[in-house]
Each structure stands twice: as C-alpha cells, then as structure tokens.
Amino acid sequence: MIVVKYDVNKLNNQQNTVKHNNGITKQHIEDSDSKLLHIEKMIKAKKNLLLSKQEKLEKISKNNHFLNEIKNDYQEYYNYIKKQKEEQILALNMLNEYIKDLSLSGELSKHNINDSKYEQKKILNEINSIKEGLKSIMQNTNNL
C-alpha cells in the first residue's frame, strides 16, 4: 500500500496561481469583478442622485411658476390701487380748485372763506397722504 501525502494548502495556492489560457489569474479576475461591482454601485448611486435632483428641479420650477402667477396677481392689484389713488388725487385737486374759485369770486362771507381755507388744508393734507400711499405702492410694485 502506497500512501500519498498532499499538502492541501499547497494545492490551494497552486490553484490560485494557475494561469488560464489568456494569462489571467483567479485572483486577478476576482479583483476585477470586485472593481466592476463597485463601479456599478457608483453608477447606480449617481443615477439615483440625478433622478432626485431632477425631481427637485421640477418641483422648484412649478413653485416658481406659481410664485410668478402670485407676483402677477399682486402686480395687477397694486396697479388697480395705484389707479384709484391717482383718481382720488385728481378728484381732490378738482375740489380744491373749486373751493379756491369760490373764495376768489367774492361771493362768500368771511366765515365761509375761513371754512373754505380750512377745507382746502384738509384736502391738501389728504392729497399728501394719498401721494405717500401711492409712493409706497409704487416702491412695492417696483420691488416685485
């Protein structure tokens, strides 16, 4: 009886170093496979990141669209208020001119002249107040 002793570790090492037909070792193939798996994982992660960013961009663009609509609504509102304020100033100026003409006509008594001067001051103060409001509206409109 012949006993053959094999060193198992030596055989395993030999198998790992055996070169295939193209000259590549088993270890080299395992390393390459590992690198390819790592690259595939990175590509998948980048793809997911790009998809996530695209979704965020779509949401932001929708929000901007809605914000633009709101901005336009406020712009129309401010323009409407501006027009009303300008019409108020025009009406008060007409009223002021009428009172001035009455005062200059000499048809008013001294008491009525004093009343007319008082009313003119109130009108001028109201015109200034409206102009300040209009100025504020114009600044807000320009800031939009």
Amino acid at 95: L
Percent with pLDDT over 70 in the chain: 80
> Side-chain half-sphere of 128: how many Cα atoms within 13 Å?
6
What percent of the chain is helix, strand and coil (3-state, nearest 5)?
Answer: 85, 0, 15
Q: Which residues contact 130 (CB under 8 A, 6 or more apart)?
A: 85, 88, 89, 92
Question: Of 139, 118, 117, 137, nearest to 129 (Cα)?
Answer: 137
Angle between helices 110-143 and 26-105 (to 10 degrees): 170
How many Å apart are CA 70 and CA 85, to the nearest integer?
22
Segment 20-50, tens digit of pLDDT: 445 667 787 787 778 888 888 888 888 888 7
Segment 67-88, tens digit of pLDDT: 778 778 877 888 888 889 899 9
φ/ψ (deg, to 5) at 4: -110, 125
Does residue 109 surpass a pLDDT of 70?
Answer: yes
- CA-only gyration radius of the chain, Å: 45
Q: Which of 18-22, 113-117, 124-128, 137-141 has the lowest mean pLDDT?
A: 18-22
Tokens of 123: 């009108």
Predicted local distance difference test score (pLDDT) of residue 30: 81
How many Å apart are CA 116 and CA 129, to the nearest integer?
20
